[in-house]
């Protein structure tokens, strides 16, 4: 590592960081496996989420503890093989062992609404552009 206290060392370090960012060497979030649950439709409908939008039960909004808000991810139910695309718009879940909360609509589509929970794999696939955030939850 260069000595960043010297002027030339500072510029070298800044250049190397810039090259790393430009080349895409930043670590991308990896797929995670764990248990999914879903938002209670009456309890959370209309409440503000972490991104400031209001929760809509028929959206594809989801909550994750660490993925950046605006992350688009595919969620696959490992029992049924069903997969749906969601947008991370909130923080949570806070129950032990759970890695994602999905909307009631997404829970229906994944085949987990009746049981309330399901083993899933969450695969980040991208991010929403800033202009896509319009005060309504989800992209659909």
pLDDT > 70: what percent of the chain? 73
pLDDT exceeds cutoff 50 at 16: no
| pLDDT for position 28 | 63
HSE-CB of 50 using CA atoms within 13 angstroms:
17
Q: Enumerate domains of the chain plus CATH numbers.
A: 32-129 (2.40.40.10)
d(CA 77, CA 110): 6
Distances (CA, A) of 74 to 26, 33, 60, 140: 21, 12, 11, 14
pLDDT exceeds cutoff 60 at 140: no
| pLDDT for position 136 | 55
pLDDT digits (tens, 9 = 90+) for 68-109: 999 999 999 999 999 999 999 999 999 999 999 999 999 999
Residue 129 pLDDT class (50, 70, 90 cuts): confident
């Amino acid at each position: 590592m260069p000595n960043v206290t010297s002027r030339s060392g500072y510029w070298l370090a800044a250049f190397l960081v810039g090259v790393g960012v430009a080349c895409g060497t930043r670590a991308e979030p990896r797929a995670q496996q764990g248990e999914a649950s879903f938002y209670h439709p009456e309890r959370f409908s209309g409440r503000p989420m972490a991104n400031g939008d209001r929760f809509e039960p028929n959206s594809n909004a989801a909550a994750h503890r660490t993925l950046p808000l605006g992350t688009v991810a595919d969620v696959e139910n490992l029992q049924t093989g069903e997969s749906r695309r969601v947008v991370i718009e909130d923080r949570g879940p806070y129950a032990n062992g759970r890695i994602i909360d999905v909307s009631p609509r997404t829970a229906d589509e994944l085949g987990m609404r009746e049981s309330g929970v399901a083993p899933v794999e969450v695969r980040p696939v991208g991010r929403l552009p800033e202009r896509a955030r319009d005060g309504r939850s989800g992209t659909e």
